[in-house]
Structure 1
Amino acid sequence: MAKNDPYAALRYKEFNVFLLVRFAMVFAWSMQFVVIEWEVYSITKNPLSLGIIGLMEVIPAVSLALFAGHIVDQNEKRNLLFKCLVGFSVISIGLFLLTWPEFTTNISTKVTLYSIYFLVFLGGIVRAFLGPTIFSLFSLVVPKKVYPNAATWSSSVWQMGAVIGPALAGFAINWIGVHWSMCLIFGFSLFAIISLSQIERKPILNPKIGEPILTSLKEGIHFVRNSKAVLGALSLDMIAVLFGGAVALLPIYAQDILKVGPEGFGILRAAPAVGALITMFTSAYFPLYRKAGLKLLAAIFGFGICIIVFGLSTTFWLSAAALFLSGVTDGISMVIRQTILQLRTPDSMRGRVASVNSMFVGSSNELGAFESGLTAKLMGTVTAVVFGGSMTLITVVLTGIISPKFRKLDLRKDLEEHNADNS
């Protein structure tokens, strides 16, 4: 295999199937979240309701994360992913019914709203298991020598789903309504289930099957705590996403500030993912593992600047451009973080480390949504977004000053060691 082959991971059949499954799942999940955001805000006209959506998902996702990581490390990964996909499909059917006027005719608006929150809560339970399962299955469909390249393609496909899902959500709401948009989402979840059948069952690489759960969880936490690169990357990204969660307030910007309707909402919602997608495809040709720490700090600093510009903008295309550039910088952060995790995590601990990752970064999206909704309620929408961007900048500066070792982090040696192990 040629050195620095940008298509190295794509030469493995099961990895391509894995990418199809991941795309369909991310597309369905991101589209569903956007459609529900729009529906809930249309019902309530209360910015806090958008924060509650995030809170309902993050509570089970965080509470069950470590337990889910233990379960993933102890069990076969493909079947676990199948169960996660089935769970998501059931939730999609529920939301399909709750957005069907004929079904909700005799149900009060309050009951409908609380039922939506409940299904989002169930989605958080599914997500607690989904992230660690996908992360663990990833390492079983490609050899270690192509992990960095595979991480780039996997993240790119994730972003592709995150681009098309929200964009199509905005247009679909306008063209076919919320109810039939949910039907489309259910269709993609079924496609993910069918595609997954093309991946064979995988061996369980954990040598400690049957290990007591408390011992297992302590081992996972101990590993992350003592891996400074992993802990630093996760902590930095968590703070940035937590305080830079302006995306959660996009329904308010689309409906009340920029006044661009559902189509403009779809464009705004997709703009960050478009930027991230371009970054990730570019990184397949220009790897980011050199001077990774410095690049990560610079990327998140740029992300904070973009969030502030978006918050202050009253022009649609300037707002879209700011969100696009926030996606470019966020894409750099995501690729570097995923490369760190894949290179420095032992096979037997991937589920638990991925669970910690979901607690640090994945769930901070929902906590960020709650923080944004709460601060928007208390200090106004624009002020809340600018505050979040400013806190991101402060976090980056403090991290760079306090941790010079992280600033000098470089992943070339890790990559060389993995290549040597697989030569």
Structure 2
Amino acid sequence: MPEADIRRFIRFLMARIASSLSFQMLSVAVGWQIYRQTGSAFALGLVGLCQFLPMVALTLLVGHLADRFDRRRIVAICMGVEAVCAGVLALGVFTHHLSLPLIYLLIVLGGSARAFESPTMATLIPALVPRGDLARATAWSSSSNQTAQILGPALGGVVYAVSAGAAFAGSALLFLTGLLLITSLRLARRPTSRQPVTLASLFSGIHFIVRRPVIFGTISLDLFAVLLGGATALLPIFADHILKTGPWGLGLLRSAPAIGALCMSVCLARRPLAGPIGRILFGSLLLFGTATVVFALSRSIVLSLVALMVLGASDAVSVVVRTTLVQLQTPDDMLGRVSAVNMLFIGTSNQLGEFESGTTAAWFGTVPAVVIGGIGTILVSLLWMKLFPALRDIRSLEAAPTPAEADTQALKQAEAGADPTRAQAIR
């Protein structure tokens, strides 16, 4: 990678780390603040709802704007909005005028900004590095995010213990730092699309994904595999009633997947994946499901931690492969809309995965629920290998077809299958 690209990418990583750290700190501080004011678990649950709803409501608009305007500026504006929200929270704590409705309003505003920032941030990577370095850059980006997920909550908790206002103020400063770093970036390529906002253009990202088996298979695989394998919501029960470790064990269990993912992401950044990428992707998800089952059946804290680290490491492999394939398979003028839909699927799978785990646990018990989820992930992976042979048979990321080649392949498949409607749509 040329030295100028390396410098730009390092600045991007620093901006992403600052934003992720700030978000994690803010999440911990907001949770503690709400619980201290209300003592209500329901009030805490509303935080996730306030963050999730803006993402669902704004996804289609987010992608369209990311393909029409300067993506760097969109990310900077979002970080500015998040900094203001954190600053208002800090001011409210320092002046003792922080009501619960105001906190929820600021969470919704910050969640709306986050809905724009996350998918748009992902689209910046292809504009910063050459195509051949995309997999390595994606791995470094993933490792930076995992680092923030490990350090952010701890940092937020420590600072909040000293001063609640300082935790919110520190979050605001980190968002401002990210804003300054992102505005200093000089992108090699910028979106050129200036399509008018129409109903068809808003849904064009979904239409684009459905027409391409590799992208559709990749994104839907993530949705269903993570949806069934989401056991994190049940970790407090495992720590308390099954492993009998208490709060310290819960902290270790929550950190273990991120530690495994971080270690694997660093390895992938230093030594990119080689070999049959499609089979590696499915193999990592099969390992994810197996590790989930092992964790469910374990009665040893050591074995449980190892299983969760393997789970996190295997998920990191699939994340890097899936993200890189989506970026390589999507033309730049569609990348914002496709990334927005991808982020919605990821967010939906995480949120609904926790709901699925909790519901299944209520029906069948905690251990059976996690076992069922792990087996479900394995079955989905095997089924997707049959349904999406184009994804299964990709030999390497470098050999993955370009968007134009993918269109040609899809057209040939449609014509061979005597599907004139689909063939006309591809043309």
Task: Sort the TM-score into its range (normalised by shorter chain).
Answer: 0.7 to 0.9
Q: Secondary structure at the match of 2:185?
A: coil
Aligned to 1:191: 177
RMSD: 3.4
Matched residue, 1:230: 215
Shift of 1:73: 0.8
- The answer to whether structure 1 residue 67 and structure 2 residue 61 are counterparts is yes
2:418 aligns with none
- 1:320 and 1:367 map into 2 onto residues whose CA distance is 24
Structure 1 CA distance for aligned equivalents of residues 89 and 239 of structure 2: 23
Matched, 1:159 2:133: no
Bigger shift: 126-135 or 50-59?
50-59
Q: What CA distance in whole angstroms lies between the structure 1 residues aligned with 2:28 and 2:310?
A: 20
Which residue matches 1:127?
Answer: 114
Judge conservation of contact 2:325–2:400 (CA < 8 Å) in 1: no
Instruction: Report if the CA contact (8 A) 2:11-2:181 is conserved.
Output: yes
Q: Counterpart in 1 of 2:346? A: 361
Aligned-pair CA distance for 1:355:
0.7
In the superposition, relative to structure 1, how do residues 381 and 60 fare at CA in structure 2: closer, same or farther (>3 Å)? Answer: farther
Q: 1:188 Cα deviation (Å)?
A: 2.1
Question: In the alignment, which of 392, 399, 402 is matched to residue 384 of structure 2?
Answer: 399
Distance of aligned partners of 1:203 and 1:281 in 2 relative to their CA distance in 1, 3 Å threshold = closer
Structure-2 separation of matches of 1:50 and 1:251: 15
Structure 2 residue runs without a partner (length 5+): 404-427
Q: Which amino acid aligns with 1:16?
A: I
Whole-angstrom distance in 2 between the partners of 1:101 and 1:380 = 46
Identity of aligned residues (%): 36
Residues of 1 paired with 2:340 and 2:366: CA distance? 32
Which sits farther off after the overlay, 272-281 or 301-310? 301-310
How many equivalent pairs are there? 402
- Do the aligned partners of residues 250 and 76 (structure 1) sit closer, same or farther apart at CA in structure 2, a change above 3 Å counting? same
Give the whole-Å Cα distance in 2 for the aligned partners of 1:188 and 1:74.
Answer: 28
Distance in structure 2 (CA, Å) of the matches to 1:247 and 1:94: 31
Q: Per-residue deviation at 1:37?
A: 5.3
1:284 corresponds to which residue? 269
Aligned pairs for 1:3-402 (under 5 A) are 12-34=6-28, 36=30, 46=41, 52-93=46-87, 95-96=89-90, 102-103=96-97, 112=100, 116-169=103-156, 176=162, 180-200=166-186, 204-206=190-192, 208-251=193-236, 253=238, 264-288=249-273, 290-376=275-361, 380-402=365-387
Q: Aligned partners of 1:139, 1:403: CA distance in 2, in Å?
A: 25
Q: Deviations over 1:201-225 (max 9, x none)?
A: 776432x414333232343222211
Deviation of the 1:119 alpha carbon:
4.0
How far the C-alpha of 1:264 sits from its partner, in A, is 4.3
Change (3 A) 1:30 1:268: farther
Whether contact under 8 Å (2:191, 2:332) holds in the other structure is: yes
Distance 1:412 1:367, change over 3 A: closer
Higher-Rg member (1/2):
2
Q: Per-residue deviation at 1:299?
A: 1.0
Counterparts of 1:411 and 1:271, CA distance in 2:
29
Specify the SS of the correspondent of 1:284: helix
Quick one: distance in 2 between partners of 1:60 and 1:236? 24
Task: Tell me the TM-score normalized by structure 1.
Answer: 0.81
